[in-house]
Amino acid sequence: MEISERIELALQICRPYLQADGGDVKFLRFKPESGVVELKWEGTCLICPLSALTLRAGVERAVMKAVPEVKRVEAVAG
C-alpha cells in the first residue's frame, strides 16, 4: 500500500470527530525527503482556535502511528 493511501486511512479515523463539529481535513501531499505531510483544514476547523492542538494531539499522532515514515504533519493554506 502506498504511503498516501496509508495517510488517507489514518485521516479516516480522525474525520468523524472533525466532522461532528462541522470541520474536516484534506490531504494535500507527502514530502518524502522531509517526512512532512501537508494538510488543509476545511469547514469550521479553519476558524477554530483549537485547530493547532487538534493537529498535534489528534491528527498528527494518528498519522504518525499509522505511517512511520511521517515525521511531522503541518496545516497549510490550500
pLDDT at residue 78 is higher than 70: no
Domain 3-75 belongs to what architecture?
2-Layer Sandwich (3.30)
Minimal CA–CA distance to 14: which of 51, 48, 49? 51
Supply the pLDDT for residue 41.
96
The partner residues of 27 in beta bridges, in order of sequence, read 39
What digits encode the pLDDT tens for the residues 9-62? 999 999 999 999 999 999 999 999 999 999 999 999 999 999 999 999 999 999
Supply the pLDDT for residue 77.
80
- Please report, for the chain, the start and end positions of each structural domain, with discontinuous segments joined by +: 3-75
**CA 64 – CA 42 distance, rounded (Å):** 21
The three cell numbers locating residue 36: 512532512
